[in-house]
Structure 1
Amino acid sequence: MSLNLASKSQFILQSSSPLPSTVSSVCGMSVYMNDRLEWVTQAVDSVLNQTLSPSLFVVVLDGNVSEEISLYLSKKEKQHPNMILVHGLVNRGLSVCMNYIIEMTLPLKPKYFFRMDADDICVPHRFEKQITLLEKHPDVDILGSALWEIDETGNRVGIRRLPLTHSKLLKSFSRRCPINHPTVAIRFSVFERGHRYMAEMLNTQDYFLWIALAKDGCKFANVREPLLHFRRINGFYKRRGRGKSVNEFKARLLAMESLSQRSLQNYCYALMVLTLRMMPAWGIKFAYKCDRFLLNLKRHH
């Protein structure tokens, strides 16, 4: 799914250094109006200070952002030759921004694409760890990891683990998104085959992409070690909203259809989760904790 010319014309590239002719890895991140400078700073520094930094760190300013964030990013871009900024004239959403980065960097023949969010923090060896594992396991196309959940002040409040092997991940598709999106590393060969984020999706983009990749025979895996600190802010349980809840329900139905996982148990689970998602914040919080408990219980058995 290529970006049309109208979409491409809505992005302006800012780079103080000449773009390289080839790169080995690309990290893509989007920044938005309501992002906090402190968190953006921590996210950017955690990428630039990796033990193995990405060849190209592409940050999209998706529409208007605060002046302090814009000035900060411009300063960092001038200081780091491997960092470039892309200015979106209007807010287009994560899917369009990531697709633009993919399209823009494909001619540079990169091997790996990393995702990053503007309020999360990579552990210092995240990229080195994932690249080492991908080099060691050429059959794996999408590699995620466990993550630490942190609060607004950066304190660890939990850990989120998912199944590790492809066979176990595949079985879980109809129940939950099997990859922590901000932790993911994807082989660019996946995108060379034509796969992209669904541009019309404003949320749950990753879940639908993973289903399409699984249907196409791509192999998944997760690293047991947490490689990212994921910001679970106070409004986390309110953010999902009706739209995201319905999209998650649709994704579960699609996974059942696409991956031949239709069963009464899976349908009941999908309906139960949809019902819980429609509850007030306290109900969503309770459901989230139950899901984490059941996932960990299943993992230990």
Structure 2
Amino acid sequence: MDSNLSILHNNYKKKRVETLVAMAVYGGDKVEWVEQAIDSILNQTYQDFVFTIVIDGEISVKMMNKLKDKAFSDHRIILAQNVTKPGLASCMNKAAEWGLSLNPSYFVRMDADDISISTRLARQISYLRKHAYISVLGSALTEINEHGGKVGARVMPSSHKQIVSILPRRCSLNHPTVVIRYTVFEQGYRYDSNLMNTQDYFLWVTLASNGFVFRNLKDRLLNFRRVNNFYKRRGFSKSLNEFRARFNAMLKLKKLTPYNAAYACGVLALRLMPGKVVKLAYKLDRHLLDRFGKH
């Protein structure tokens, strides 16, 4: 067990579980959305899992009480506190490391403001059981607003060849939808905990360059929360990390071409533009990605 992950509640009695679901909760998260996210996992048609909820930093008393209520009402919930080195990457690494003792086969990502479709885990776990060579499995998603209304969709390329082909230009998996085969963690691979964002992008590039196989299902298995500030210009740090991630992909995957380099520079410039320009570009990107993902 990671000594920097403090377990606040654990009433899980089994010595082995097939799947570990991991989610981080932060001080700025909305209690209502977190409850919806938790319930969407607890109400899955597939049931052989533990649900590790990692509190990262300080949260409100209201949020803590809600998490404790959920944990005491369902033995599958493991409530933990990330003691050192904050950030999503650190939380996910520590959750994965804690879970090693339960000998799971699959690691499922979940975000605290999203909603998993009730058949999500059954669909993804079943697919991975039948395709042992696939190590990372994502899916399409539906974008919803603050009120739960549908505002868009994101369908990623499905085949490994397509996913890796466009990695130098964009992150080609929807991170909150991903299920990772636990052998990835057993072999020592981790998210880069020094990164506060784009950690998934860097991990996919590392795994792709080491021969791991990816796949995206076209099923929309997650409702992804797209809030009002979604189109605000990115901070320079995040924009720069995305730029670094693209060049990292070009180098590791041996795809350093003038087109890929120009694309990376263009996106960096776009990220720093006003929100209206970013919104227009995002809609165009969704249209092109949707068409590409259908082939």
TM bucket (normalised to shorter chain) is over 0.9
Q: Verify the 8 A CA contact 1:64 1:89 in the aligned structure 2.
A: no
Determine what percentage of the aligned residue pairs are the same residue.
45
3-state DSSP class of the match of 2:168?
coil
- The question of 1:229 aligning with 2:223 is answered yes
- The question of 1:282 aligning with 2:266 is answered no
Matches within 5 A, 1:1-301: 8-89=2-83, 92-238=86-232, 240-300=234-294
- Gaps spanning 5+ residues in structure 1: where? none
Q: Verify the 8 A CA contact 1:111 1:187 in the aligned structure 2.
A: yes
**CA displacement 1:263-289 (0-9 Å, x = unmatched):** 111111111111100101112112211
Displacement of 1:300 after TM fit?
4.8
Q: Verify the 8 A CA contact 2:12 2:76 in the aligned structure 1.
A: no
Displacement of 1:12 after TM fit?
1.5
C-alpha separation between the residues in 1 aligned to 2:57 and 2:13? 23
C-alpha separation between the residues in 2 aligned to 1:283 and 1:155? 23
3-state DSSP class of the match of 1:191?
helix
Q: Displaced runs of 4+ in structure 1, greater than 6 A?
A: none
3-state DSSP class of the match of 1:257?
helix
C-alpha separation between the residues in 2 aligned to 1:101 and 1:112? 12
3-state DSSP class of the match of 1:141?
strand
Distance 1:18 1:147, change over 3 A: closer
Distance 1:9 1:238, change over 3 A: farther
Normalising by structure 1, we get a TM-score of 0.94
Normalising by structure 2, we get a TM-score of 0.96
**CA displacement 1:192-238 (0-9 Å, x = unmatched):** 11100001000011000000000110000001010000000001122
C-alpha separation between the residues in 1 aligned to 2:177 and 2:294? 22
Q: Which amino acid in 1 is paired with 2:245?
A: A
Displacement of 1:16 after TM fit?
4.6
Q: Verify the 8 A CA contact 2:144 2:225 in the aligned structure 1.
A: yes
Q: Verify the 8 A CA contact 1:39 1:119 in the aligned structure 2.
A: yes
Q: Would you say how many aligned residue pairs link Structure 1 and Structure 2? A: 295
